[in-house]
Amino acid sequence: MSHMTMQKSSLSDADAIKAACQDMHLKIREHAKPTYYQGRKGDVVCDYVISLPGTEYEVGLKWNAMTRGFDLYYDKWNGYVENVLGKGCEKLIQSEAFHKILGDAALRGYSMEAPTEYDKEGDMLFEIAHY
């Protein structure tokens, strides 16, 4: 059965999320309802909606002031979202974390390169250098 679900996440930095989407070649728009099964729109207007290539399925991100992070709204049916973003949107979460670290490192005089390697669990590996 297809239906929109809500998932709490550790996503919290809108600029890092936008950078992650750019890296992953995903389009992101503001203040919209995510699309899911057969072009239906969710009931929740989200702060951001991420469009996924090759499908009409989208992921909504709505700010949760209680958790100080974004809740995710998407349809898990047939794995359309997970095929692009990983189980529980882990690829998006990892990329957002990388961009948060990248910004923080730059403020402290360090440089980083985009990860090119992943470990056997699929976690990204990267190096930090001081300049």
One-letter amino acid of 39:
G
Q: Is the pLDDT of residue 39 over 70?
A: yes
**Confidence bin at 114 (pLDDT 50/70/90):** low
Average pLDDT, stretch 48-52? Answer: 97
Q: Would you state the pLDDT for residue 34?
A: 97
- Total tally of structural domains belonging to the chain: 1
**Phi and psi (nearest 5°) for 128?**
-115, 135
**Phi and psi (nearest 5°) for 69?**
-155, 180
Range of the domain at 64: 4-130
